[in-house]
Amino acid sequence: MEITINREYVLQKAKELLEFDSPSGFCFEIMDKISVWVKEFGYAFETTNKGCGIINIPGKSSDKVIGLSAHVDTLGAMVRSITSNGTLKFTLIGGPIVPTLDSEYCTIRTRDGKIYTGTFLSTSPAAHVFEDSSSKKRDTQNMEIRIDEVVKSKKDVEDLGIAVGDFIFIDPKTTITESGFVKSRFIDDKGSVACLISLLELMSRENIVPEYTTKILISTYEEVGHGASYIPEDITEMIAVDMGCIGDDLSCSEYDVSICAKDSGGPYDYNMTTQLINLAKENDINFAVDIYPMYGSDVVAALRGGNNIRGALIGPGVHASHGMERTHYNALESTIKLLYLYLTR
């Protein structure tokens, strides 16, 4: 089957999503942007009480309702305290690899909307001053944020309007290469959100109606564990679209769509997983089947929330998760194709 994916659109949407700040708990602005895109295709968009987005796609049959999910929330940080010399101590949102934050730029946003820039640094940041500048452990106890303002005391920082609980956005450093690589923080899981938005673009452009009514959930608290704990009650089966892992004894690469058979929440639905594997084989889609012991998805959150569903997990292969991540356009395209085939089979 010939499936025409709009490469330029996929990469454009990935870049826009990746460059938009949206750590867990601060996703209302990016959700507004996504709702505009969705409504341009003529699909209904609603927002749940906790800020997740639900996109409704009528199908040829309503005998069952298929759910797809991807999370737009990312890792991040918040101001934990202000030091006496005018730097910020921070607490993590989600689980970034903390040593990778050393020397990264960031943005601090106050509750009244003021924006300040800064840098994550070790508390021994200078090689010419500190003997342990290279060896000191990089963790939240031994790191702080240097603010790009003239501040010399806690009061100076407070006078800027910065306070405990303000969000800290980590610079994603998004780059798309001519060879098709997407390099950025937070491809987990904005790469998958770009896949779902691009799937809508494909279905709208080609006037495709799925076999069954489909609901797409864009979740906002996945990185802290409860993204899809609530889903619409009429969903009967659900595919989490989230990053595929690379490394150790895994098969997935940056060019594949990952099909996960089991993660920390246990095995995924046997029949759904088998069907996804067979669709990939029959249509020459690059894929890998793997097991992720240190991983949990929106399907796991939905099942633990008591939802009566069957579930599966797929997504583009992403290298260096929770650090400086990278994937390739081929993995995004393969993910879109597999989802399209599943919905129209």
Query: Within 10 Å of residue 100's Cβ, how many Cβ atoms?
Result: 16
222 is catalytic: yes
User: What is the spatial distance between Cα 28 and Cα 52, in angstroms, rounded to a whole number?
Assistant: 9
CB 23 within 8 A of CB 93: yes
Task: Give dist(CA 15, CA 329) in Å, integer.
Answer: 12
Amino acid found at 254: E
Give the closest residue to 250 by CA, choosing from 289, 287, 280, 278. Answer: 289
Give the tokens for residue 215: 């609901």
The first and second tokens of residue 120, run together, are 């994550």
Q: Which helix (H) or strand (E) element contains residue 258?
A: strand 257-263
Question: Tokens 């409860």 — which residue?
Answer: 226
DSSP string of 287-326, one letter each residue: EEEEEETT---HHHHHHHTT---EEEEEEEB-BSTTSSEE
Residue 62 neighbours by CB under 8 Å, 6+ apart: 212, 213
| Virtual torsion, Cα 223, 324, 217, 236, nearest 10 deg | -80
What are the backbone dihedrals phi and psi of residue 172, each rounded to the nearest 5 degrees, phi first? Answer: -75, -20
Spot the catalytic one: 104, 144, 201, 222. Answer: 222
- Alpha carbons 12 and 21: distance in angstroms, whole number: 16
Residue with tokens 């998760």: 321
Q: What ranges in the chain are assigned the alpha helix state H? A: 7-18, 28-40, 154-159, 187-205, 270-282, 298-304, 329-344
Active site residues: 222
